[in-house]
Each structure stands twice: as structure tokens, then as C-alpha cells.
Structure 1
Amino acid sequence: MHAYLLTERFVHECAGNQQFRGRFNLNRAHTLLNDSWNAERLLLGDGADYWRSLDGRGLGGEVHPTEHNWVDYDSLGHIVLCVLKDIPDWREYALANHSDDVQRIAACGSWAAREILGTAQDAQLPRLPDTESAKRFFDGDVALFTALRDAYWNRKPKT
């Protein structure tokens, strides 16, 4: 629900008073996204303080943080494939006409894409190249993508 409300607020900020008249300000959206990404990068740093903060909450490892998935995981693609995978005609259509997309979504970690492709869930798939992930998720900014990804993956093993 929180993501829905944030998305609604973002769209409203980019549409001004013309929200339902198709006047979405793409330049404003691009600026707001870049500002948000750069603020996250600044606050996150190398990720060490972030992970110490989570460990300091005393949850004893009960919570599996998913923030790193926000950086290089195609949630929308995964959700669509979750719906399509159980409808044979659509499943076959996706494979026949969008096989490359299904492969890319699988490379991002989608179990639904793996199921459609007939790939074992524990099979190691190569990750997308940084340039492709940056293009898909961060408007081609490789430095921003790698900084956020590396910070979120910078969790030190517990001693």
C-alpha cells in the first residue's frame, strides 16, 4: 500500500493540475527520479552504516532486507509473468514473442521467468551486464547503478 501511495504522489507531482488530462511532465518525472536516486546514494554511502543500523535493531536476523532487489530486480516483469505463467496461451505467446525479455527477467532473479523457461530454480544464471541494468533501471547511469547495488550488497558476515 505504501508503494501505491508513493507512486500516486509521484504521478500527481508530475501531472500538476492536469492529472487526468494526459499532461504528464516527463522532464519533471526524470528530474524527481534523478534527485531521489542521488539522495539515496548520498545517504547510503558504501552501505556499512546502513547494515550496522539494521543489525542494531535487535531483530536477530529475522528480517531479510529486500532493498537490494529495488536496484536490479524487475518487479513489474516478474509480476506480469506470475500472471501469465498459468495461462497456457499467454505463456506460449510470451515465449514465442518475448523470449529475450523473459530471459532478461530471469537473469534479474525472477522465479516465474525461470519456470516459464523451464530453468531449474537453483541454476546459476549470469547476471545482466552493469550497462544493461543501468539502462533498464537508472536511465543508463552506470556509476549510480553500481554505487547503489554495491552498497546494498555490502553486508558483512555476522561474527
Structure 2
Amino acid sequence: MVNIVVNGVERQFDGDEDTPLLWYLRDELGLTGTKYGCGIAACGVCTVHVDGAPAFACVTPVGTIDGAEVTTIEGLSENGDHPVQVAWRDLNVAQCGYCQAGQIMQAAALVDGSETVTDEDIDYAMTGNLCRCGTYTRIRAAIRQAAEAK
């Protein structure tokens, strides 16, 4: 039995402990904001927070996070007012939107975990999150805005 807290709610998982966190979140909990992209941790679409740190849900076995706190895009902010979410809306970052939950979760971990955020910090943190539409300029601007607002 694996015990985890997902978006502030205590959960128990009694399935195959090798099950990727992504499938538990989507299929069993109905939290479909976390998307499937590549399945090999190469695109970042499935980024969630595990104990406050970004993690790729597609390659994180549920059995490895017993006792952890998991935050998905649905749990980042009850009212959608996290500084990163506000900046994303203000700057119209999303184009197709498919990668945006993962981008936002990665950016939120950076903003929440840093006193100051430089362009180099953004480049390093966001390297594993791909955007097929190429909205990188708006993503960078939104992260800067969120860091300043924090």
C-alpha cells in the first residue's frame, strides 16, 4: 500500500507499485490536467511537483513516492492565481496549450524555489520542457513577470 497526498488530499494506492504516477493521476484520480507526451521523460508535458520539486509523472513509479506530497496543475492554486498562472494569462503564453500544464508546473517550481530568477536559471530549469509551438519567448517573459510578482 502506497500512501501519498495529492493536491492536499490523502490517498492510498494498492495497485502495481511500478505504475507510472501519470496513469494513477489521470486514470484513477481523474486529474487530466497532467498530460501524456512522450512517456520517456523527454518532453516535460507530464511535469508535476513531488514534495515541491518538479518530477516527470510518466517515469515516476507510484511505489517510489510513498509518503510524498504530489501537486498537479489542478492543485497549484485553487483560484488559478499562482504568479506563474497569472503571468501566463497576462502574456497569452499558450498557443495550442498541450504542453502548458507541464511548463507552468516547471516554472512554478523555479519561481517558488528561488529568491531571484535569471535568464540562465530559466534556461536551465526549462530545458526539459518542450513546446512544439515555439512560445519560448512568451514563456521566458511570463517566468520573469511571475518572479518579479513573487
Flag whether TM exceeds 0.5 (same fold): no
Instruction: Determine which structure has more spread, i.e. the larger CA radius of gyration.
Output: 1
Return the structure number with greater helix share: 1
Return the structure number with greater strand share: 2
Report the TM-score when normalising by structure 1. Answer: 0.24
